[in-house]
Amino acid sequence: MSTPTAPTLDAAALRADFPLLEQNVNGAPLIYLDSGATSQKPRVVLDTELDFLTRTNSAVHRGAHTLAAEATDLFEDAREAVAGFVGARADDLVWTSGATASLNLVAYSLGNASVGRGAPASTPFALKAGDEIVVTEAEHHANLIPWQELAARTGATLRHIPVLDDGTLDMTAAAQLIGERTKVVAFTHVSNVLGLVNPVEQLIAMAKDAGALTVMDACQSAPHLPLDLQALGVDLAAFSAHKMMGPYGIGALYGRAEILDALPPFLTGGSMVTTVTLDEAGFLPAPQKFEAGTQPVSQAIAFAAAVRYLDGVGVPAIHAHEERLGHRMIEGLREIEGVRILGDAILDDGSAAPRVGLAAFDVDGVHAHDAGQFLDARGIAVRVGHHCAQPLHRRFGITASVRASAALYNTDADIDAFLEGVAGIRSFFGVS
């Protein structure tokens, strides 16, 4: 019986879909390895947004004229497309300005529930002194600080699942931390520093056993892994368009219908109400009750074009390609003297841990910013700094790292040029 082959894609051909990648930087062809921060946009996304703005631009859910009706149809079709991309129903998807806004929406909505807003439906989600919120040591600040603030407002205690030396989560500690006092478990699907795919199924199961709400940061998984949020069983999840070939200024919050229906709104104003008097207001059902104000119409329509582009390439093929590039980076970095990889995990059977095409590392004797500038001078764009994950860097005893993150438009040649560049950093700065 033959072994099925992994799906493949032609990254060099796909690169032609991205106008920005055609340029030279510092006299060299651009090698863009910063997609973990923001991905490039294919022409179809750019053209889709421009076409809407030049042909159909109008406010949605408000006007009765032709353009308003067309805009509303396109806007809601976009919701259905993006929701379907992550295995959700359209009514389970709330438009936000990005994942940070999505996660803050959840935290502040839970805070509103904790002061009696939305009762009695929201009462089961209210937090009080003695309750616990569990996060991981690997979180992006956007999935840490909102929970710090919620704990401060409600008197709940914030607890942390540690990260082991190889970058994996300490699941033994997780099992001890998540218990009868736990009300929320918030975690990243894929670390934006380590590139490792966390065992979120186990975390969700532990949280369900404890009766806790689960909140997942899917920013680094939605563009790179096949994702079915309903099948995964997570309660709420956040992701951003600009990390998945889409425009800036829009993201989404997925939520199970019964949870979105029960939670009180966070932002209030126009577009999310039924009846308003001088003393009180009634709110529309979810998702509209979480979408106060002017809607990101052109961005939503372009976001839909982005997920259709990803679907057209094939998410399994994207994942296989990027995972292979990620392992290529890790294996190459291991061979370079003076380079320490963050999250260089190996499974018990000796195989490489599941990851996306992302690797962060420290160069002995060279500050991350200097290393990044050395690579930039060669046309290689990487991220440097703490990547909005200061506690995780502190866990590894450093303040900053260099991060290379690949996408579907990166080739083996890109990775080889990057590794060649990294190999020359220490000698250039005289520390080899």
Task: Supply the residues annotated as catalytic.
Answer: 388
Is the separation of the CB atoms in 346 and 352 below 8 Å?
yes
3-class DSSP state for residue 182? Answer: strand
Q: What are phi and psi of 159, to 5 degrees?
A: -125, 160
Q: Are strands 157-161 and 281-283 parallel, antiparallel or unpaired?
A: unpaired
Distance, in Å, from the CA atom of 44 to the CA atom of 67, rounded to the nearest integer, reads 22
For residues 126-147, one letter each, b for 16 or more C-beta atoms within 10 angstroms of the residue's C-beta and e for the rest, the string is bbeeebbbbbbbbbbebbbbbb
**DSSP labels, 74-138:** HHHHHHHHHHHHTT--GGGEEEESSHHHHHHHHHHHHHHHHTTTTTTTTGGG---TT-EEEEETT
Distance, in Å, from the CA atom of 63 to the CA atom of 72, rounded to the nearest integer, reads 9
16 Cβ partners below 8 Å, 6+ apart? none
Tell me the one-letter amino acid at 22.
E
Distance, in Å, from the CA atom of 413 to the CA atom of 325, rounded to the nearest integer, reads 10
Distance, in Å, from the CA atom of 126 to the CA atom of 149, rounded to the nearest integer, reads 15
Q: Give 255's strand partners.
A: 236
